[in-house]
Every structure is written in C-alpha cells, then in structure tokens.
Amino acid sequence: MKQKRSKPKIYHKMPMVYPNAAAIDVGATMHMAAVRADRTSEPVRSFGTFTTDLHQLVDWFAECGVETVVMESTSVYWIPIFELLDARGFIVFLVNARDAKHVPGRKTDVSDAQWLQRLHSYGLLRASFRPKDQIAELRAQPRSPARSAADCLRAALYARGAADCG
C-alpha cells in the first residue's frame, strides 16, 4: 500500500489589524477584561459592575495603551461600560455572542476574554450596529406604550376635572 505524501505545511503570519486591542467578557456581576500579554504582568483581570469598578477598568485599559475594545453584547449589561469607554475615546466594537462562541475549547470567562481579544486583534470580529445616541433615544421612546397611555389618561382626567369645576 502506498503512503500518501502530505503536502508541506506553509504557515503564513496573519497581520495584526488592531495591535492595541482589548476585550471584555461582559457579565451581570463581573466583567473579565483581557489585554495583550506583553502589556502587563497580569493580562486578564476581573472587575465588578459598580461605577467605580468600571472606571478602574477604563483606567487600566488606558495604562495598557489600549485603543480598541471588543465586548460581547449580553442583555443590557454592556451599556454602562460601552458608554464609559466611548466617552474616554476608545473605539468600541460590540459583537454578537453567537459570532464568537462557535469555537470549541473555551470554558471559562478568562479564556473567553483572551479569545475575544485575540480574535479582535486580528480583525476577525464584526461589530454590531449601534445607532448614535440621539437615534437610540428616539428608538427607546415607542417602547414604553404603557407609560404613554398612562400619561394620556392622566391628562384626560385632569382636563375633565377642570371642565367640571369651571
């Protein structure tokens, strides 16, 4: 039986698109953040979700020379840290968790944050659409119809009471 000759493997070094990239695995009670291993002695750190914790996270990214940050969109937990990072001048990529989770072997938040950072540094994650602040504000208004109905009812009852008294 003839042995198949395997083709020589040619490894191409993939260019790094975002060398100053970081990642956050967003959670309800804790955020895991990762930067490149050459930036600090502790490249993966956990932060709480209180405002002071989020400011510490943003300051740590600034100390590590981070320019772009990727985070998974998990419920509404990503909004406060997204807004802080955006206000401080970071380029923030919000990605759908489904796009990054299809790779086997990642079981912990630490490895998940490192994996996101690595994928992002090579430009392999696509940012989700995030409307500008004014548009997001307008989009949120129709989502509270019960409040609008209650306001209309209150105004109608007030007008009716004023008519009865006059």
What would the two tokens of residue 16 be?
Answer: 């790094």
Mean pLDDT lowest for which of 31-40, 47-56, 154-163? 154-163
Highest mean pLDDT among 2-16, 79-93, 102-116 belongs to 79-93
Q: How far apart are CA 40 and CA 29, in angstroms?
A: 24
**Mean pLDDT rounded to a whole number for the chain:** 80
Is the pLDDT score of 163 beyond 70?
Answer: no
pLDDT at residue 22 in the model: 96
The identity of residue 23, as a single letter, is: A
Q: Residues 139-145: what's their mean pLDDT?
A: 59
Q: Give 96's Cβ-side CA count (13 Å radius).
A: 6
Highest mean pLDDT among 2-6, 53-57, 115-119, 156-160 belongs to 53-57
Q: How far apart are CA 105 and CA 152, in angstroms?
A: 54
Q: How far apart are CA 45 and CA 56, in angstroms?
A: 11
Long-range contacts of 106-112 (CB under 8 A, 24+ apart): 109/25, 109/27, 109/30, 109/32, 109/46, 110/32, 110/34, 110/44, 112/25, 112/32
- Is there a contact between 73 and 96 (Cβ–Cβ < 8 Å)? yes
- Is there a contact between 61 and 35 (Cβ–Cβ < 8 Å)? yes
- Under DSSP, the state recorded for 73 is -
Is the pLDDT score of 44 beyond 80?
Answer: yes
